[in-house]
Amino acid sequence: MKIHKLISVLLLFVFVLSACSDRTIVTERKESKETVGDTYGFTSFNLTIETKMEKQAVSVMYEEKPKRIEAEYSNKEKGISTFGNEAMKKLDELFKSMKLTPDMPEEDMIKTVSETFEISDYKMIKLSVKFVGHDAKEIRISK
């Protein structure tokens, strides 16, 4: 049992360290008077999609803070693996077309996300999104 806890702590530590990497920082930001979260309606978006053929077929990490945005996007089926500015360019297009809202039913969120990222035959989707003024939504659906 202790080994499982140790492995979990180590994995969390590795995740935190990799999330804090400078390569994920978006440096090409449009200066505007918008407040955090105004662009997409959320300040945090983390997504993992697994298919029968591929673990982490799609992986997204987006964190928006007052003075910093971090972005990471990979889609193995499309051969995309980007960080920082390049990831943000691709995610901007996807996020603007996605239209997620905090009051959406979980099934509709999953459907919207899978359609946006063009993965219909998923095995598992794990989504964590923090909407402005709301608690974070944590959704995990397996087929």
What is the tens place of the pLDDT at every residue in 50-90?
A: 999 999 999 999 999 888 899 999 999 899 999 999 999 99
**DSSP per position, 24-60:** GB---PPP-SPPTTTTTSEEEEEEEEEESS-TTSEEE
Question: Could you give the C-alpha distances from 15 to 10, 37, 40, 112, in angstroms and in order?
Answer: 9, 24, 25, 26
pTM across the whole model: 0.78
Q: Which residue has the higher pLDDT, 13 or 104?
A: 104
- Interval 108-115 mean pLDDT: 94
